[in-house]
Amino acid sequence: MDTPALLKEALATFDVLFDEAQHAGEPDRTAMTLATASLDARPSARVVLLKAHDARGFVFYTHLDGRKGRELQSNPHAALLFHWPRVRNGVQVRIEGAVEIVSDAEADAYFASRPRGSQLGAWASKQSETLESREQFEHRLAHAESEFEGRDVPRPPRWTGLRVKPDVIEFWYGADFRLHERQAYERDIAGEWHRRMLFP
């Protein structure tokens, strides 16, 4: 299916800013705040790393049994925020949309690209559960090292990628005296994209 022209425009703008963030020396241009909410409307936020993006959406990886994974399975909608203070006079990119799990092939390919230590850590961690001591985690890590010694580490079945499919992409450009510039791209319920300026 063809990508709508305005979505192409928004993604092209993101790519320009993403490149500028690298050249501007941002410590990690892939760092983005991920906001989720439980079914009882309690929000939570944390920083995750962007691992892929295209017209389908913005992808990060996690354990489905951790808090964010549980919340996104019960309430599959999320917001992302990139903040690049070194770009121009400061830039923010806000993205909102529904969330889907990536294909097993995508998740397997990304997991295989990770350092072995990170792969083992994915098996050792019971994300968001209570940890009695650091030694408990180190014991689980040693167990994983022993279990997979001499062979490739497979992807844990509950460790995968999540894709935020954008319904909103907003660009915020900082300016003196808080006279900021905001431009939003939004998809309506019919699937049509629109662009509008917003007051700062």
Token pair in block for residue 45: 């936020």
Closest listed residue to residue 58, CA positions, set 14, 27, 118, 114: 14
Q: Tokens 């425009």 belong to which residue?
A: 9
Distance CA 67, CA 46 (A): 10
Catalytic residue among 178, 182, 187, 195: 178
How far is residue 119 from each of residues 116, 125, 135, 160, measured CA to CA in Å? Answer: 5, 10, 19, 12
Q: Is 178 a catalytic residue?
A: yes
Q: Tokens 């907003």 belong to which residue?
A: 170
How many helices and strands, by DSSP H and E, does the chain display? 5, 9
Distance CA 27, CA 21 (A): 9
The helix (run of H) or strand (run of E) holding residue 147 is helix 134-147
Catalytic residues: 178
